[in-house]
C-alpha cells in the first residue's frame, strides 16, 4: 500500500492509439412514442467529451503530468472539436489527418442518468500513411518517460509490434490496453491491462483466482510480456507476474458508470511506474483511481486531490471557517468532482430568519455554498460606527453552524470583488434589487462560464429592524 500520492509534475507521457469523440445528449423521458414502443427523450443538454486514447491523455493531464497524444483523425469539424477539448485541458495533440476516414464518434442518448442507446459513426482506417505515424512516434518517444498504447481496434495500432520494439530499444516502458484475441501483437510490453472478458477470450474461462494466475502466467511466458493487470469489475483487480501475483478488492464505494474506467487504470499505472513506484504499488494507485472514476457519469478523469482524499479516507475534507488557500483547494476539488459551487457574501451581524431563508435558497442553486463575511472594519464603513454588534469571529462561527453552509471565509476589502475574481464560483448569489451585470465580481464569474442570480430578501426581516425593535422595548 502506498502512503502518499507521488508527484507527477514534470513527467512526460506519450499516448498512442485510437481517437474518438463522445457525444452525450441528455434529457428527461416521461412518455413512450406513439409511433413505436420506445421512450421519447426531450433533449435538454448536449455535451462532447474525448473518448478512447483521448480519455487516457486527459487522465494524465488531470494529474499534472505532461502528455503528448498521437493518433489519426478525419479531415472534419469533429477532429477540430476533439483537439480543442483536449488542448484546453493541457494535452499536446499530435494528430495526423486521414482523407479516407472520418473522426470516430459515439453518440449516447441519456435520460435520468441512464444510457438508452449508443450510436457509432466510424469507418475502418485504410490507406493511411503509416510511415508518417512512425516518424511522429519516433520523435515523441525520444523524450517520453513511458508510452501507453490505447488499442480500440480502429486501425491506428495495426503495427504495434514495431512500436513496442522501438520502445524497448530506447528503454521506455510500455503499457497496453489490449483489444482482440491475438495478444502476440503485444510481445515485449511492460504491462497489458485487459478486463476479465478480454482476458478470458484469450485464455478461456477462469473459475477461480488460481486459474486466473496460472493462465495469466502462461500467457506472459508465451508472449514475453513482463506483467498483466486484469481488471475484475466488482471483484477488484489482479496483478500477475511470472514469479508472483497480487489481488486487490475494488476501491469503489458506489459504481455509477464504468465507461472509461480502463483508461483511468492504465493512465494511473503508467504514471505510478514513471514516478518510481513498483508495479504492485502502482496497482494500489490505479485501484484507487478506478474506484473514484466509476462513481462519475461517462468518460471521466481523476485528480491528485481526489486520490489524496481516497488515500486518507476523506480525512482531508474541510468544512466551516477556512482560509482562502483551503477554500481554493476545496472549490477545485468540488468542481472537478462535478459539483456546482454557489457563493454569496454579507455582514450577517445579528442572524435572523431572513438570513437563514436567503442562504437556504442560495444553497438550492448548487451543491456547495460558500459565504464570505465582511470584516468588522468594512461593516463599520457600510453600517456606521455602532456596527457590527457581533465581532467577525462570532459572525463566522454562527454562519458556519448552519446546515446549508459548507465554507465560510472573511474578507477585509470594502467590496468582495477580489474574492469573487479569485474563487470564480459557478453561481454568484446576491440579494436585493440588483441587475446581474451590476453585481460586484459578476463580470469575472460570467466570463469564466458562471452565472449571477438575484434573490429577494424576506420582507420585514433585517438586522436594522431587529436592533430598532430591541431599542424600543
Residues marked active site are found at: 263
Q: For 221-270, where are the E strands, in sequence order?
A: 227-231, 237-241, 245-248
Check: CB of residue 374 under 8 Å from CB of residue 382. yes
3-state secondary structure of 301: coil
Strand order in the sheet with 368-374: 320-321, 407-411, 368-374, 341-346, 427-431, 451-455
Cβ partners under 8 Å of residue 129, min gap 6: 96
Cell numbers 488542448 label which residue? 87
Helices and strands, counts by H and E, the chain:
16, 19
- Alpha-carbon torsion angle 417, 421, 423, 429, nearest 10: 50
> Distances from the Cα of 228 to the Cαs of 203, 208, 216, 279, 407, in angstroms?
13, 17, 7, 10, 44
Cβ partners under 8 Å of residue 315, min gap 6: none
Distance CA 341, CA 250 (A): 30
3-state secondary structure of 462: coil
Q: What is the 3-state secondary structure (H, E, C) of 120-161?
A: EECCCCCCCCHHHHHHHHHHHHCCCCEEEEECCCCCCCCCHH
Check: CB of residue 410 under 8 Å from CB of residue 324. no
Beta pairing class for 237-241 and 227-231:
antiparallel
Amino acid at each position: 500500500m502506498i502512503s502518499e500520492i507521488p508527484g507527477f509534475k514534470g513527467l512526460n507521457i506519450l499516448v498512442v492509439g485510437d481517437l474518438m469523440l463522445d457525444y452525450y445528449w441528455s434529457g428527461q423521458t416521461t412518455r413512450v412514442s406513439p409511433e413505436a414502443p420506445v421512450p421519447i427523450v426531450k433533449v435538454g443538454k448536449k455535451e462532447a467529451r474525448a473518448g478512447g486514447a483521448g480519455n487516457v491523455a486527459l487522465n494524465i493531464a488531470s494529474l499534472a503530468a505532461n502528455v503528448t497524444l498521437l493518433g489519426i483523425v478525419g479531415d472534419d469539424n469533429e477532429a477540430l472539436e476533439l483537439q480543442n477539448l483536449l488542448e484546453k485541458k493541457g494535452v499536446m495533440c499530435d494528430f495526423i489527418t486521414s482523407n479516407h476516414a472520418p473522426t470516430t464518434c459515439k453518440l449516447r442518448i441519456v435520460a435520468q442518468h441512464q444510457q438508452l442507446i449508443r450510436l457509432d459513426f466510424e469507418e475502418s482506417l485504410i490507406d493511411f500513411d503509416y510511415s508518417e505515424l512512425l516518424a511522429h512516434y519516433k520523435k515523441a518517444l525520444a523524450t517520453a518517460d513511458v508510452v501507453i498504447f490505447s488499442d480500440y481496434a480502429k486501425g491506428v495500432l495495426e503495427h504495434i509490434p514495431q512500436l513496442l520494439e522501438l520502445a524497448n530499444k530506447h528503454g521506455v516502458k510500455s503499457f497496453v490496453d489490449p483489444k482482440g484475441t491475438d495478444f502476440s501483437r503485444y510481445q515485449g510490453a511492460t504491462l497489458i491491462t485487459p478486463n476479465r472478458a478480454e482476458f478470458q477470450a484469450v485464455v478461456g474461462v477462469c473459475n477461480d483466482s488460481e486459474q486466473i494466475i496460472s493462465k495469466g502466467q502462461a500467457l506472459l511466458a508465451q508472449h514475453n510480456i513482463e506483467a498483466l493487470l486484469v481488471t475484475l469489475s466488482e471483484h477488484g483487480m489482479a496483478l500477475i507476474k511470472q514469479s508472483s501475483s497480487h489481488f486487490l478488492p475494488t476501491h469503489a464505494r458506489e459504481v455509477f458508470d464504468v465507461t472509461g474506467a480502463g483508461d483511468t487504470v492504465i493512465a494511473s499505472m503508467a504514471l505510478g511506474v514513471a514516478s518510481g513506484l513498483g508495479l504492485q504499488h502502482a496497482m494500489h494507485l490505479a485501484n484507487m483511481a478506478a474506484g473514484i472514476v466509476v462513481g462519475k457519469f461517462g468518460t471521466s478523469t481523476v485528480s491528485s486531490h481526489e486520490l489524496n482524499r481516497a488515500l486518507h479516507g476523506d480525512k482531508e475534507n474541510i468544512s466551516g471557517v477556512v482560509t482562502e488557500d483551503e477554500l481554493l483547494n476545496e472549490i477545485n476539488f468540488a468542481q472537478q468532482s462535478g459539483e456546482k459551487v454557489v457563493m454569496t457574501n454579507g455582514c450577517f451581524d445579528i442572524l435572523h430568519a431572513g438570513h437563514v431563508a436567503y442562504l437556504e435558497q442560495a444553497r438550492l442553486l448548487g451543491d456547495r455554498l460558500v459565504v464570505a463575511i465582511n470584516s468588522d472594519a468594512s461593516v463599520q464603513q457600510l453600517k456606521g460606527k455602532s456596527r457590527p454588534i457581533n465581532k467577525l469571529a462570532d459572525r463566522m462561527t454562527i454562519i458556519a453552524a448552519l446546515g446549508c453552509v459548507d465554507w465560510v471565509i472573511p474578507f477585509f476589502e470594502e467590496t468582495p470583488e477580489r474574492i469573487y475574481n479569485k474563487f470564480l464560483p459557478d453561481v454568484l448569489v446576491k440579494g436585493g434589487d440588483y441587475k446581474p451585470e451590476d453585481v460586484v465580481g459578476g463580470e469575472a464569474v460570467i466570463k469564466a462560464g458562471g452565472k449571477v442570480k438575484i434573490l429577494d430578501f424576506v420582507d420585514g426581516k433585517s438586522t436594522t429592524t431587529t436592533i430598532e425593535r430591541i431599542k424600543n422595548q
